[in-house]
Structure 1
Amino acid sequence: MELMLLALVLGVAAVVAIILWTRLDAFVGLLAGALVTGAIAGVPVAELIGHITTGFGNTLAGIGIVIALGVMIGKVLEESGAADALAKLFVRLAGKGREDVAMSMTGAVVSVPVFCDSGFVILHPLARSLARRYGRSLVTLSLALAGGLAVTHHMIPPTPGPLAAAQEFGADLGAVILAGALFSIPLIPVVVAYARFIGPRLDPHLESAPTGDALPAEGEPAGGADRGEAGSAPTGSTGTGTALRRTKDGRDISEEPATPPIGALRASIPLLIPLVLIIGNTATGAALAGTRAAEVFAFVGNPAIALLIGLAVAVYLLPPRNTPRTTVLGWLSAAAASAGSIVFITGAGGAFGEVLRQSGVGDALADAVAGWPVPMFLMPFVIASFVRVAQGSGTVAIITSATLSAPVMAAAGVDPVLAVLSACSGSIVFSYVSDSYFWVVTRFTGLSGGAAMKMWSGMTTLLWLSSLPLLGVAALILG
């Protein structure tokens, strides 16, 4: 047990130290952390390398294609003016000055049937467009979107974690969906409040945006000093003065934008098609399992296939008429190059998480926490919290917690729905370098190092703390 804890501490310390204090990037840091953890935990060298390559490959198999296609769709949305059209629609619906609320609520709705990673990739161009055109903090809007996605992804079936926990605890699925939705509602204002607080403080730390539209420092043109053209700059305070923030057409981004060259309905089609296909896959899989319709949606509703269809639609529907083929190919090439760093870092995070899982660190921590003297309904919460920190995956944390605590919960007479809420809310805690979603959120936003941890690790930890009083209320209601 002590050896496993030491392996975890030193592995994470290696990752953090390399990212924060050396010239090496997060990709190298994560691989080094995986090696340190596995070596100290006693994993044979051949197996350790196998775990790293397996984790890297499995992670990219699930999200790598999605990231690349999503960045390409985002680039087409931006270059064609479609993102601006959607940004104006969102502002009109939510009201100017409440763009962060609109992004958080949108994320919360989308993430019930769609994985966080896919939802963030699809919707992040909207956050960037809103930030650019209305002078809002990019970090604030990105964080509001990411937080809304995370809350419902962790709390409401049919996402895999809550669904597995409901089955393990023997809870009624309809009751879990209702309870998870009610539990999520008070957490959305927490998301918005933290995003508004921390966003402007982190904007000065923004690096280049992943779609190639740089977010320069004060007084620097977008894409570097040698480009000679104005571009999008970070909103909010930047250093000791106020940056000159102008769009590519020379307009101050705080001004009301001109009418976009494309309608919002047409602009939304490349986004809606992937979302509808993914949601259709979830719905038909649950309601029409074994039918021909379910088989069709299982294919076209796969996130990679759905986004591929969305990209094809975007390329042929959004660019203005007579746009040269070489221009569109240039957009896609720039997007692919920008997506590369996100893909590699995300894969390295998956490799680190796989080593943590295969080394036995998560299981050892869960077994130890199971014997701690805590209120019975909090046992799944505590186990899920430690497993999440140990290996990064919220879904794995929920499933591990439910598996270990289900017999104890049944013997103690704890309401199954309460047990599900406890395990799910515990899994939200402290998303960091071993969580692939951490890298998707922070790299798409343009943050790294300590700023990235303040952004996303801080948000998830606050949501975790905020769920504790809600669990207490649920315990009083459910007994």
Structure 2
Amino acid sequence: MDLQLLVALLGGVATVILIILLTRLDAFPALLLGAIVTGVIAGVAPLELVDMMTAGFGNTLASIGIVIGLGVSLGKLLEVTGGADALARSFIKLFGKGRERVAMTATGAVVSIPVFCDSGYVMLHPLARSLARKAQQPVVGLSLALAGGLVLSHTLVPPTPGPLAVAGLLGVDLGVMFLVGIPFILVLIPVVLTYARIMGKRLEPFRDHTMFADEEAEADTRPVISAGRAAIPLLVPILLIIGNTVTKALIPDSPVQAIAGFLGAPAIALLIGLIIGAYLLPQRRTDRKTVVGWLGQAAASGGLIIFITGAGGAFANVLTQSGVGKNLADGVGMLPLPLFLIPFVIASVLRIAQGSGTVAMITAATLAVPLVQDGGLNPVLAAMAAACGAFVLSQFNDSFFWVVTKFAGLSGVNAMKAWSGMTTTIWAATIPLLFILWAIVG
């Protein structure tokens, strides 16, 4: 193992972490500076290093930038038009009395496929409070069930930005990513429900009952559209993407696959979903200016994720072209450990250090690119490992920690027990699932 290249890798990773934690800069310039440090220490000529970075940035965004922008825009439409709220209410009716926690977890898991989990939680928490009052259930338990469902889909399946970016960096088909992520979610839902049930009973006496006293009335009066109408712009692109994946496997090089391949290309599928959503979700009297304004807000919120993903691509290309990645793959390949533990551990460490699960999984996927290319690591397994590592220990440096715990009326140690404990339990439960996936795909 070349010592200079090892130092280059460690220097680049340390640069990313220290910049995010100790400076006024965010993950976008941090990843670019990490790429520069890695290239310089590895001995790459300055102009060649710039070419590596710009090529990596451009190639990554060429494959995934459009998809992230469209996915965020579709999620915004579902959020502001009441579509996500309509889906939530339909799930509550579907599961019925006595299964309130199941209803809230399932609601969170579905709503968070297109909607950021922070927005989904703020939007749906009044509904959880109203349901808790009617069913005489602990609000903390239902809040945790909702938040757990939201974070599962937000972390594991596209078109949420983190999984989209990870899939793009590692070259994973989005349909495959979705089809692998859904079984993970189904297995993890009982983990969420069990933890929510136990902690709901234990922590309810410590909740601040004076917070958000009027939310129940708001939950009962909020206007919504029908769940069927809300589901159409979400289901159409998902089915098109999966259809492309299935036909590619069963009937490749056929006329049907050619059509399915075009319509199921993620950019085309999500564009179709967005067009449907723009005309189907808003009320009839909604003017063009309002809808365009919503899409503008989505572009603003999704822009940073696109930039971070591109910077991750720049870093990954420097790792690959400079030989640092191959050096890492050769060294790790000599260890008696499965390669997928590398992105899993990296994502876990970064999640604890800087708080953002999205940044953690994108960075871990970036460092896993050379392992996939040179070390024999399956890209699907690498993507899932990077995503699963990003679950661990949501705490004070994570914005979603504050959203969940403040709306649940918890603080201090009880907030850590509620949400940090929940995410760490989910993280631990993914480890055997990753080993099972490793045994299947190698």
Offset at 1:35? 0.8
Question: 1:95-125, CA deviations, whole angstroms, 9 ceiling, x for partnerless residues?
Answer: 4223564268659xxxxxxxxxxx9446857
Matched letter for residue 102 of structure 2? R
User: Match of 1:56?
Assistant: 57
Question: 1:62-105, CA deviations, whole angstroms, 9 ceiling, x for partnerless residues?
Answer: 22212222222222222221111011123334542235642686
Checking the alignment, whether the CA contact within 8 Å between 1:273 and 1:306 is kept in structure 2 is: yes
Query: For residues 396 and 300 of structure 1, do their structure 2 counterparts lie closer, same or farther at Cα, with a shift above 3 Å needed?
Result: same
2:298 is the counterpart of 1:335: yes
Query: For residues 318 and 162 of structure 1, do their structure 2 counterparts lie closer, same or farther at Cα, with a shift above 3 Å needed?
Result: closer
User: Match of 1:10?
Assistant: 11
Checking the alignment, whether the CA contact within 8 Å between 2:126 and 2:219 is kept in structure 1 is: no
CA RMSD of aligned residues (A): 5.0
CA distance in 2: counterparts of 1:8 and 1:195, whole angstroms: 40
Matched letter for residue 77 of structure 1? L
Gaps of 5+ in 1: 108-118, 165-176, 199-235, 405-418, 433-441
Offset at 1:396? 4.1
CA distance in 1: counterparts of 2:331 and 2:69, whole angstroms: 40
CA distance in 1: counterparts of 2:38 and 2:124, whole angstroms: 41
Offset at 1:466? 3.7
Checking the alignment, whether the CA contact within 8 Å between 1:51 and 1:355 is kept in structure 2 is: yes
Classify the secondary structure of the residue corresponding to 2:8: helix
User: Match of 1:144?
Assistant: 152
Checking the alignment, whether the CA contact within 8 Å between 1:342 and 1:444 is kept in structure 2 is: no
CA distance in 2: counterparts of 1:336 and 1:159, whole angstroms: 19
2:355 is the counterpart of 1:392: no
Offset at 1:273? 0.9
Question: 1:333-371, CA deviations, whole angstroms, 9 ceiling, x for partnerless residues?
Answer: 222222222221222122222222323233212212333
Checking the alignment, whether the CA contact within 8 Å between 2:105 and 2:147 is kept in structure 1 is: no
Query: For residues 182 and 79 of structure 1, do their structure 2 counterparts lie closer, same or farther at Cα, with a shift above 3 Å needed?
Result: closer
Checking the alignment, whether the CA contact within 8 Å between 1:30 and 1:349 is kept in structure 2 is: yes
User: Match of 1:311?
Assistant: 274
CA distance in 2: counterparts of 1:59 and 1:365, whole angstroms: 22
Classify the secondary structure of the residue corresponding to 2:283: coil
Checking the alignment, whether the CA contact within 8 Å between 1:3 and 1:41 is kept in structure 2 is: yes
TM-score normalised to the size of structure 1?
0.62
Offset at 1:309? 0.9
2:283 is the counterpart of 1:320: yes
User: Match of 2:428?
Assistant: 462
Matched letter for residue 8 of structure 1? L
Classify the secondary structure of the residue corresponding to 1:69: helix
Gaps of 5+ in 2: 130-142, 174-178, 350-362, 392-397, 404-415
1:134 to 89, 112, 128: 128
Query: For residues 401 and 160 of structure 1, do their structure 2 counterparts lie closer, same or farther at Cα, with a shift above 3 Å needed?
Result: same
Query: For residues 130 and 197 of structure 1, do their structure 2 counterparts lie closer, same or farther at Cα, with a shift above 3 Å needed?
Result: farther
Query: For residues 259 and 269 of structure 1, do their structure 2 counterparts lie closer, same or farther at Cα, with a shift above 3 Å needed?
Result: same
Matched letter for residue 72 of structure 2? V
Percent of matched pairs sharing the same residue: 40
CA distance in 2: counterparts of 1:400 and 1:159, whole angstroms: 14
CA distance in 1: counterparts of 2:30 and 2:263, whole angstroms: 36
CA distance in 1: counterparts of 2:28 and 2:370, whole angstroms: 24
CA distance in 1: counterparts of 2:285 and 2:259, whole angstroms: 35
User: Match of 2:227?
Assistant: 264
1:293 to 245, 256, 266: 256
TM-score normalised to the size of structure 2?
0.66
Offset at 1:141? 3.9
Checking the alignment, whether the CA contact within 8 Å between 1:14 and 1:32 is kept in structure 2 is: yes
Query: For residues 146 and 345 of structure 1, do their structure 2 counterparts lie closer, same or farther at Cα, with a shift above 3 Å needed?
Result: same
2:376 is the counterpart of 1:403: yes
CA distance in 1: counterparts of 2:198 and 2:69, whole angstroms: 31
Question: 1:421-476, CA deviations, whole angstroms, 9 ceiling, x for partnerless residues?
Answer: 998876667459xxxxxxxxx899999xxx9xx8999689635644587699x79x
The farther-off stretch of 351-360 and 135-144 is 135-144
Offset at 1:384? 7.3
CA distance in 1: counterparts of 2:375 and 2:24, whole angstroms: 41
Classify the secondary structure of the residue corresponding to 1:257: helix
User: Match of 1:273?
Assistant: 236
Matched letter for residue 92 of structure 2? V
CA distance in 2: counterparts of 1:15 and 1:280, whole angstroms: 39
CA distance in 1: counterparts of 2:308 and 2:271, whole angstroms: 22
CA distance in 2: counterparts of 1:255 and 1:444, whole angstroms: 22
CA distance in 2: counterparts of 1:457 and 1:45, whole angstroms: 42
1:9-28 to structure 2, matched below 5 A, reads 9-28=10-29
Offset at 1:310? 0.9
Question: 1:20-44, CA deviations, whole angstroms, 9 ceiling, x for partnerless residues?
Answer: 1111122111111111111112222
Offset at 1:319? 1.1
Query: For residues 244 and 148 of structure 1, do their structure 2 counterparts lie closer, same or farther at Cα, with a shift above 3 Å needed?
Result: same
CA distance in 2: counterparts of 1:62 and 1:460, whole angstroms: 30
2:310 is the counterpart of 1:350: no
Query: For residues 91 and 11 of structure 1, do their structure 2 counterparts lie closer, same or farther at Cα, with a shift above 3 Å needed?
Result: farther
Greater share of helix residues, 1 or 2? 2
Offset at 1:131? 3.9
